[in-house]
Amino acid sequence: MFIIAFIAVINLVTFFTFALDKRAAQKGKWRIKEATLFSLAVLGGGLGALLGMKTFHHKTKKFWFKIGIPLITVVNIWAFAYIIIKYNLL
């Protein structure tokens, strides 16, 4: 059950981090580093990052985000599915 909670929390945090960065960009304020956004995605928040990009139209023109986040999301889904199935966590 811990893995499900972790997946939910990391994706929510990542989604809202994209929202905060978009808001900061619109207001010309302090921004969240791109490395932080990618790190959250790599740590399991790929789906939250992808949804944040689509929902807030944020970082959608940047090549590394346009290519990297979907790839990270696929790897996240594969890794979480593997862990859940291998250790019978459902």
Q: Does residue 23 surpass a pLDDT of 90?
A: yes
Domain total of the chain = 1
- pTM reported for the whole predicted model: 0.95
Domain that holds residue 66: 2-86
What pLDDT, in 10s, does the model give residues 36-82?
A: 999 999 999 999 999 999 999 999 999 999 999 999 999 999 999 99
Residue 10: partners with Cβ closer than 8 Å, 6 or more residues away: 40, 43, 44, 45, 48
Q: What is the DSSP letter of 42?
A: I
